[in-house]
Amino acid sequence: MHSTQPALPFSKALRRRWARSGSLLCVGLDPDLRRMPAHLRERSDAIFTFCKAIVDATHDLACAFKPQIAYFASARAEEQLEELARYIKATYPEVILVLDAKRGDIGPTAEHYAREAFERYQADAVTLSPYLGSDSIEPFLSYRGKGALILCRTSNPGGSDVQFLDCGGTPVFEVVAQMVAQRWNALGQCGLVVGATFPKELGRVRQIVGDMPLLVPGIGTQGGDIEATVLGGKTEEGGMMINSSRAILYAGDGEDFAHAARQVALETRDAINRYR
């Protein structure tokens, strides 16, 4: 067990956030220098400045922020991600911070990834791959109160290659959902990642896992249907962090980009709430 226990465990903090914000929207932070407004691009802290502006413009509309670490890593911007995490935790402590990293490795290595996610970047939850099984997840669960969001049915076309393999009548992603619900979630720290681009499978996963939280990417640029997503995955308290990244971040490319982002975030939150 680790000493960085949050005041409120991930699952409780998320339920409280759903209730207080009235929003299931997760704003994905995928800062791509090539798509940022021109007036920011040349700054040495362009990535932090861009993300901070998005966070300030959307915090009241979001249940969660989800920085995607690949965008920081490819730009040598780990320190800007640290700064962003510090800013979010200090300024908007009730908004859930999900680090999207999709890590998965053997136990001793997973301990280091857990330290990266929960200590270095102060995440409340992190996305993980199930391919290496239980002992690759345990080091994350040993941070009591932190969340582990495990890939189940992803939003991309190739997701079917492995996730849809037929195991005696049950596809791999459903076996993963069962495994997480019945075994890995003993302390209530788990959630699943299920793409909005497959609403039927989303409904199936919801049946399997009860009210476990789902992180649902794939609306917005990826084209997932909001109505089908909400109807398939909602619970009484909320049930989902429905993520949109690019459609919000790059809604505008002028000096008013944050205002444009807020408008799209507002419309998306409201479109989601229409079907709750």
Taking CB under 8 A as the criterion, the residue among 20, 73, 211, 270 binding a copy of itself is 73
Residue 102 a catalytic site member: yes
Ramachandran class of 239: left when φ > 0, alpha when ψ lies in -120 to 50, beta otherwise: left
In this structure, what token pair is assigned to residue 51?
A: 């993300």
131 binds a copy of itself (CB under 8 A): yes
Summarize the chain as % helix, strand, coil (round to 5): 50, 15, 35
Smallest distance, Å, CB 243 to a copy of itself? 12
Q: Phi and psi of 151, rounded to 5°?
A: -60, 130
Binding footprint of a copy of itself, residue count (CB under 8 A) = 55
Smallest distance, Å, CB 48 to a copy of itself? 16
In this structure, what token pair is assigned to residue 31?
A: 């800062």
Taking CB under 8 A as the criterion, the residue among 45, 94, 135, 237 binding a copy of itself is 135
Cα R_g (the chain), whole angstroms: 18
Q: Which of these ranges, 5-13, 104-112, 200-208, 232-240, lies near a copy of itself under the rule CB under 8 A?
A: 104-112
**Given the complex with a copy of itself, which of 28 and 145 has the nearer CB atom?**
28
107 binds a copy of itself (CB under 8 A): yes
**Given the complex with a copy of itself, which of 49 and 129 has the nearer CB atom?**
129
In this structure, what token pair is assigned to residue 161?
A: 């290659």
Residue 206-225 contact track with a copy of itself, rule CB under 8 A, x = bound: -----------x--------
Taking CB under 8 A as the criterion, the residue among 23, 58, 80, 163 binding a copy of itself is 163
Cα–Cα distance measured from residue 11 to residue 8, given in angstroms and rounded to the nearest whole number = 8
**Given the complex with a copy of itself, which of 18 and 173 has the nearer CB atom?**
173
Residue ranges of alpha helices (H) inside the chain are 10-21, 38-41, 46-58, 69-73, 78-91, 107-115, 134-141, 160-163, 172-179, 199-209, 226-233, 246-249, 257-273
**Given the complex with a copy of itself, which of 142 and 235 has the nearer CB atom?**
142
Q: Angle, to 10 degrees, between the axis of helix 226-233 and the axis of helix 199-209? A: 10
Pairing of strands 214-216, 240-244: parallel
Q: Which residues in this chain contact a copy of itself in the complex, by CB under 8 A?
A: 30, 32, 68, 70-71, 73-74, 76, 78, 102-113, 115-116, 119-120, 129-137, 151, 154-163, 165-168, 172, 175-176, 179, 217, 246
